[in-house]
Every structure is written in C-alpha cells, then in structure tokens.
C-alpha cells in the first residue's frame, strides 16, 4: 500500500518522509525537505524539478484499506497540508472539503490584481477563483509552487489555459453543477410563457388590472421540443413529463431517451411539431446562429422559443421580427450574443419591451444549491489531482483517471509533446531496471501527461531523471 506499514522496512528516504494522518482529518500531503514554514507539507518542490507527495487521504473517506493503515505511521502528524488559496467568496462547501483533507485554507472575499496575485501565490499549491480573477501568463510564471487551479464557475476564459498547460498547471471547472437549476428555470418559463405571466406581473406592478384568458394555455398535453439533449436538456425532458407535456428532442449524438421522451431525426422535424422549443446546445461552429429566420419560420405559428444555452445560438433580430409579426407567441431569453461584464454595466437588446418576452440576465444556473455543488465539484477535482494525479474533467490537460495500484509509487510527469520524449522516458525506466505496474499516457498537441505506477524502490531515481529532461514541465511522486 502507499502508506507504509510498521511491518514493512522503509527505506531511509521513506523514514524521513513518514507522516501520520489524523483519524478525524484523513488528508495530509507531504514531501521530503521542508523549505520553510509557509510550505509545511511540501518538502521539496521546484517547477522544473520534482516533488514527492505523501497521500494519506481519500482512502479513509472512501473506506479503503489504505486509510486503515494510517494509524501505523510512526512520526507525528501535522494538521497542515497543501496550501489552498480561495478567492472571490468561494462557497464554504469547498473550504470544508479541503480542510477535511488536511489542507491549509486561506479564503479571501475579493479578486486580486495581477501583481497582488503574483505576490500572494508564493507557497500556494492550489488556487481557487471565480470569474473576476485574471490568471495571466505572468501570474502563472510567478506561481512557482502552484500545482493546480480551480475555476469555481462554468467559464474559464479568465485563465490563460495554454500558459497554464505549459507551466504544468492543470485547470478544472464545474460544468455540470447547475444543471438542475437551469432545467427548473426552463420549466418555470414554459408555464410563464403559456400564461403570459411576465406581462401580467409587469402590469399589476404598474397599477393596471388586466384579467385576460385569451392566448393563455395550460402546458399539459403540449409538445416541448428540446434541442441538445445533454445534461440540461435531458433534465428538462424529465421535468416536462411531470407537467403532462409530450417531449421530443433532437441531438447530433445518439441519446438514450428519458421516460417517454422521443428523439426526432432532424431539427426540422422537431421545429414542425413543437409548441415550445428550448435550446440546450453548446457554443460550437455548428450551433453558431443555428436558429435564424428559416428555423423560426419553420416553427408552428403561435409557438414559443426559449434559449438558456449560449447567446450566439439565436439570431436576435430574426426572433424580434417573429415576435413583432406575431408568428411566435413569446420567448424566454437568458443568454445574449454580447453580455455586460459586470452588474453595473448597462444592457440593451432589441427584445426589450416586446410582449410576452421574458428577459433574464444569464441566471439560469444561479442558485444557492448550484454554488454549493460547484464548491464540492471543483474541490473534489482538485483533490483528486493532488492526491492521485487524476485529470478527469480538466479543461487544459489530457484526461486520465487510472485506478490506484496498491504497493506502488505513482510518478506523474507532464512534458512537452515533442519527438523523442517517450524514447527518453523509456530509457530512464530501463536504465534503473524499473518494473512498470501500471501506466497511462494521454497527449494533446502541446503536452503529454504520464501516470506511471512503479515499484517504490525506484520511484526517486525515475522521477529525478524525468524531471531533469529538457522536455519536463512538471514531475511529482505520490507515495
């Protein structure tokens, strides 16, 4: 097992790095030579050198055998661990998870400027941000101790992802934590549109009493057409059936229908039979302006259009024309081709003031539940990267999530993907006579990410040699 037992004779190096985790605080990550008080758990770390990390963490949480060995460690434990800096009021669900794993957490309410961030990141191994903190190439270059970065939101364009990749810093986000929030809002809007509730609410607030039923409908028995049947689209389909709606969907990928939802062979087929069309596609070249004059004309007269996906998917002038001309009976729009950067910026759209048009400021996923789920989702990804080298869900690293192999040390190596790099790595392994017990290599055009499980006795020699290669971006070892 990765945690040394008393019974096993540890090597000199292992003895010097031995730590004990607390039963109540199962995570502690350590290396071999403490450089200073600010980095208590990393004993050695250099961006182009190597780090060794001790993992005594998730096994206890998940009840594995590894955790049960923790009490056999021989040296005093410390509650400090990996140092985590969380900016911009990240939800406390993330703080709790990091602390549960023995990390040292500092949380600030605001964002930091570029220079302040460069300064603040000294000794920080994990950074958590939301949308306001700009993580530039300069910041990444200055952040010599930074291992990984979490965007506690959906978007990642506040981070120079390529610069992060080329400094060996993996980046994670939370693409799915607000799925349910978006789906619930869509169902609410379907009912609002069918009953013209937005207009009635506005009128009563303005002191008008207009009690009308003309043009108002129940949604029961109506057809909802879902374009993009992924995480959100399929949830919408489930909720809509609970309202007694008939649900059809169109997706470019083959999808398993939920409940009685029925797939359509084409977008045209869906548009022709839906009373409500709701869009849940990603922003791609294929979905760019995918709903324009022709698609709107293909919708049933008196139908409704909802878009809470991406602002570039719908051609707003064509939608405005169809609403003014009466071909469509209403629309609910949450996302726009151009959106203000801050809440204090003004906003204008051609759709303003049109009847039965619900306009919201990109709040589909904005709920307290989603914030808490985002905190947990991103913190979990970061901890899995720190503790096991998993890059599942990373937005800038090739994705791997190999299972841990008991009795091995895990060498993690990010390198430039250039000709000859694998030959060099293979030669290192061969020179030390290492027996590889598990290995996964994933590459993209820029980097390769190698996870190698090898015998404990040779992990230092292998990782030191790998870290010395000119192609090395980052190498560390998990004990």
Ligand X SMILES: NC(=O)c1ccc[n+]([C@@H]2O[C@H](COP(=O)([O-])OP(=O)(O)OC[C@H]3O[C@@H](n4cnc5c(N)ncnc54)[C@H](O)[C@@H]3O)[C@@H](O)[C@H]2O)c1
Residues 10, 72, 79, 230: which binds ligand X (CB under 6 A)? 230
Nearer to ligand X, 261 or 472 (CB): 261
Residue of this chain nearest to ligand X (CB atom): 230
**222 near 329, Cβ under 8 Å?**
no
Per-residue binding string, ligand X, 140-169, x by CB under 6 A, is: --------------x---------------
* Span of 51-59, 76-84, 245-253, 343-351 interacting with ligand X by CB under 6 A: 245-253
Among 27, 167, 274, 287, binds ligand X (CB under 6 A): 287
105 part of the interface to ligand X, by CB under 6 A: no
256 touches ligand X by CB under 6 A: no
Q: Which of 99, 231, 327, 416 binds ligand X (CB under 6 A)?
A: 231
Nearest distance in Å: CB 417, ligand X: 26
- The catalytically annotated residue of 310, 456, 474, 476 is 310
Nearer to ligand X, 79 or 360 (CB): 360
Of positions 30, 83, 101, 280, contacts ligand X by CB under 6 A: 280
User: Does the footprint of ligand X cover residue 239 (CB under 6 A)?
Assistant: no
Q: Specify the length of the chain in residues.
A: 479
**How many chain residues interact with ligand X (CB under 6 A)?**
32
Alpha-carbon torsion angle 239, 243, 244, 249, nearest 10: -40
List of E strands, 195-327:
223-227, 246-250, 262-263, 276-279, 303-307
CB 155, min distance to ligand X, A: 9
Q: Which of 152, 250, 304, 479 binds ligand X (CB under 6 A)?
A: 250
Which region among 132-140, 159-167, 249-257, 382-390 touches ligand X (by CB under 6 A)?
A: 249-257
- Closest residue by Cα to residue 311 from 366, 276, 349, 346: 349
Alpha-carbon dihedral sign for residues 131, 133, 134, 140: negative
Q: Which is nearer to ligand X, 94 or 267 (CB)?
A: 267
Q: Which of 13, 48, 122, 362 is catalytic?
A: 362
Q: How far is the CB of 429 from ligand X (least distance, A)?
A: 38
Residue 25 corresponds to which tokens in the numbers above? 């605080």
Q: Catalytic: which of 46, 106, 339, 350?
A: 339
C-alpha atoms less than 13 angstroms from C-alpha of 162 in its C-beta half-sphere: 2
* Candidate segments 48-56, 144-152, 178-186, 457-465, binder of ligand X by CB under 6 A: 178-186
∠ Cα 153 258 239 (to 5°): 65
Number of Cβ within a 10 Å radius of residue 368: 9
Smallest gap from residue 328 Cβ to ligand X (A): 20
Q: Is the distance from CB of 323 to CB of 330 less than 8 angstroms? A: yes
| DSSP category for residue 115 | H
Q: 125 an active-site residue?
A: no
Q: CA–CA separation, 196 vs 192, rounded Å?
A: 6
Beta carbon of residue 185, minimum distance to ligand X (angstroms, whole number): 8
Shortest Cβ distance from residue 390 to ligand X (Å)? 21
User: Minimum distance between the CB of residue 64 and ligand X, rounded to whole angstroms?
Assistant: 31
In the complex, the smallest distance separating the C-beta of residue 227 from ligand X, rounded to whole angstroms, is: 5
Catalytic residue status for 5? no
Tokens of 315: 């051609």
Draw the binding track, 337-366, toward ligand X (x: CB under 6 A; -: no contact). Answer: -------------------------x-xx-
Is 252 near ligand X (CB under 6 A)? yes
444-459: burial string, b at 16+ Cβ within 10 Å, e else: eeebbbbbbbbbbebb
- Contact call for residue 227 and ligand X (CB under 6 A): yes
253: its two tokens: 């990928």
Count of CA atoms in the C-beta half-sphere (13 A) of 388: 19
Give the x-and-dash track for 292-311 against ligand X (CB under 6 A): ----------------xxx-
Enumerate long-range contacts of 93-97, CB under 8 Å, 24 or more apart: 93/372, 93/373, 93/375, 93/376, 93/379, 94/128, 94/150, 94/152, 94/375, 94/376, 94/378, 94/379, 95/375, 97/375, 97/376, 97/379, 97/380, 97/383
Separation of alpha carbons 93 and 434, rounded Å: 41
In order of 52, 87, 231, 340, 368, the CA distances from 92 in angstroms are: 29, 12, 25, 27, 11
Whether residue 129 contacts residue 88, with contact meaning beta carbons closer than 8 Å, is answered with: yes
One residue of 24, 109, 266, 286 binding ligand X per CB under 6 A: 286
Q: From 36-44, 246-254, 297-305, 316-324, give the range in contact with ligand X by CB under 6 A.
A: 246-254
Provide the greatest CA pair distance for the chain. 86
Q: Is 380 in the site for ligand X (CB under 6 A)?
A: no
- Mention every residue, 6+ apart, whose C-beta is less than 8 A from residue 193: 276, 304, 306, 329, 330, 331, 332, 356, 358
Contact pick of 182, 258, 291, 299 for ligand X (by CB under 6 A): 182
CB of residue 191 vs ligand X: minimum separation in angstroms? 18
Give me the residues that bind ligand X (CB under 6 A), please: 154, 175-176, 178-179, 182, 227-233, 250-253, 280-284, 286-287, 308-310, 334-335, 362, 364-365
Q: Report, as residue numbers or ranges, the catalytic residues.
A: 310, 339, 362
């Amino acid at each position: 097992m990765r945690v040394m037992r008393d019974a096993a004779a540890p090597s000199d190096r292992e003895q010097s790095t031995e730590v004990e985790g607390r039963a109540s605080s199962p995570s502690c990550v350590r290396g071999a030579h403490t450089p200073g008080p600010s980095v208590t758990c990393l004993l050695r770390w250099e961006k182009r050198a190597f780090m060794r990390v001790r993992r005594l963490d998730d096994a206890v949480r998940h009840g594995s055998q590894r955790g049960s060995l923790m009490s056999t460690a021989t040296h005093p434990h410390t509650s400090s661990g990996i140092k985590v800096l969380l900016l911009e009021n990240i939800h406390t669900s993330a703080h709790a998870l990091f602390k549960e794993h023995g990390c040292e957490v500092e949380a600030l309410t605001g964002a930091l400027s570029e220079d302040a961030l460069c300064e603040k990141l000294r000794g920080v191994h994990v950074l958590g941000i939301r949308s306001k903190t700009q993580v530039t190439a300069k910041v990444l270059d200055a952040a010599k101790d930074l291992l990984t970065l979490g965007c506690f939101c959906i978007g990642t364009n506040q981070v120079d992802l390529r610069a992060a990749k080329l400094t060996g810093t993996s980046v994670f986000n939370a693409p799915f934590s607000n799925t349910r929030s978006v789906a619930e809002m869509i169902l609410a809007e379907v009912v609002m549109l069918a009953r013209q509730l937005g207009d009635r609410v506005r009128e009563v607030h303005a002191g008008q009493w207009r009690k009308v039923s003309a043009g108002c409908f129940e949604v029961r028995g109506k057809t909802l057409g879902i374009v993009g049947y992924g995480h959100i689209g399929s949830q919408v389909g489930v909720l809509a059936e609970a309202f007694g709606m008939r649900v059809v969907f169109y997706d470019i990928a083959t999808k398993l229908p939920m409940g009685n939802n029925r797939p359509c062979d084409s977008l045209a087929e869906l548009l022709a039979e839906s009373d409500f069309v709701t869009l849940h596609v990603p922003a791609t070249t294929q979905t760019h302006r995918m709903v324009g004059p022709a698609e709107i004309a293909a919708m049933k007269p008196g139908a409704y259009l909802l878009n809470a996906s991406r602002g570039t998917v719908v051609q707003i002038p064509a939608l405005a024309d169809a609403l003014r001309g009466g071909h469509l009976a209403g629309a609910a729009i949450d996302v726009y081709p151009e959106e203000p950067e801050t809440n204090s910026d003004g906003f204008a759209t051609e759709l303003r003031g049109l009847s039965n048009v619900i306009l919201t400021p990109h709040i589909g996923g904005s709920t307290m539940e989603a914030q808490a789920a985002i905190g947990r989702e991103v913190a979990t990804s970061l901890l899995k990267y720190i503790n096991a080298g998993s890059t599942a869900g990373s937005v800038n690293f090739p994705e791997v999530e190999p299972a841990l192999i008991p009795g091995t040390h895990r060498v993690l190596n990010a390198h430039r993907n250039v000709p000859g790099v694998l030959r060099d790595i293979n030669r290192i392994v061969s020179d030390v006579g290492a027996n590889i017990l598990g290995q996964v290599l994933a590459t993209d055009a820029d980097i390769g990410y190698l996870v190698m499980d090898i015998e404990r006795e040779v992990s230092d020699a292998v990782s030191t040699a790998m870290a010395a290669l000119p192609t090395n971006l980052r190498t560390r070892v998990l004990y």
